[in-house]
A = this chain, B = another copy of it.
């Protein structure tokens, strides 16, 4: 009780070492200004009491937050594939890349009710920058903030006239790749499973269309606007299969999740893949290689995506006004096509 040993701050440690707080601060920062002997003595003392200087106080003084906000906007109509393996993968990559740069990751899912959701976190001073995972239907809000707030990047589509910086894959190109592949496989009749309300999906569909037109099969495409969640995709597709007279022999699913549901629905209808129908997905999620049969798909490289997001963000934190980045999608051929 007399002398309760716990070192709670730099001043306690200073007293213990018989020096001033300032010296301790510099010693722990390994500053050359402090004699090597003193420095090591203080560091050793800190280790003994496993004392670590308070990060918040440091950040306040230093005027940096030491954290990056990662926001997942959940606008309901396009808040589709949240809870996808997709997000966890990206998030994991981001966490690693940020840690490497000495920053923490402040995660928020936000349901954008009022337009203040974004500025609220930006202006709170808790974060040095913001990474948005998907722009949902909030392009307007994001663009507006981007005009006055530089350190922000978004994962997602790069729309014409867009103010904010984004990183995303070339969805149109992806659609083209998928379609071309199916054409090469000899398909003549096509279906696209996915809801083009989401801009990314619309782009994929556009690529698909363009490719078909170029192959002179512009009218051989049916569109099934299936919602992207696992729960709703299957019944929709199943019903569609019931009602369709001639099932197309080439199916492009707007995501692997949809493709997986399609796989099941087709199997239940006794349609063989890839025998009767060639199927291709999108994203190359971890499970895509484990379905029966393993899914052909279009890979979005989330790892380099994450690297770009973090890279751009830190350049923006440094004051640079970076341009958006569009990644190349890649065709992965497995056994469903």
A interface residue numbers (CB < 8 A to B)? 50-52, 54-57, 59-60, 65-67, 70, 82-85, 87-89, 91-92, 95-96, 99, 104-109, 116, 119-120, 123-126, 230, 234, 257, 260-261, 263-264, 267, 286-287, 289-292, 294
Q: Which residue of B87, B105, B126 is within 8 Å of A108 (Cβ)?
A: B105
- Known contacts A230-B289, A292-B264; is A109 also within 8 Å of B88 by CB? no
Q: Which residue of B51, B55, B60, B95 is within 8 Å of A126 (Cβ)?
A: B55
Give A273's nearest chain B residue, CB to CB. Answer: B292
A119 cross-chain contacts in B, Cβ below 8 A: 50
Give A106's nearest chain B residue, CB to CB. Answer: B104
Measured between C-beta atoms, what is the minimum distance from A122 to chain B in Å? 9
Give A64's nearest chain B residue, CB to CB. Answer: B56
State the CA gap A132–B257 with chains docked (Å): 29
What are 23 residue pairs bridging A and B, where the CB atoms are less than 8 Å apart in the complex? A51-B123, A52-B124, A55-B125, A56-B60, A56-B65, A56-B126, A57-B60, A66-B126, A70-B107, A83-B85, A83-B88, A87-B88, A88-B88, A96-B109, A104-B107, A104-B108, A104-B126, A106-B107, A260-B287, A261-B290, A264-B290, A264-B292, A291-B292
Q: Which residue of B50, B56, B67 is within 8 Å of A123 (Cβ)?
A: B50
A230 cross-chain contacts in B, Cβ below 8 A: 286-287, 289-290
Give A268's nearest chain B residue, CB to CB. Answer: B292
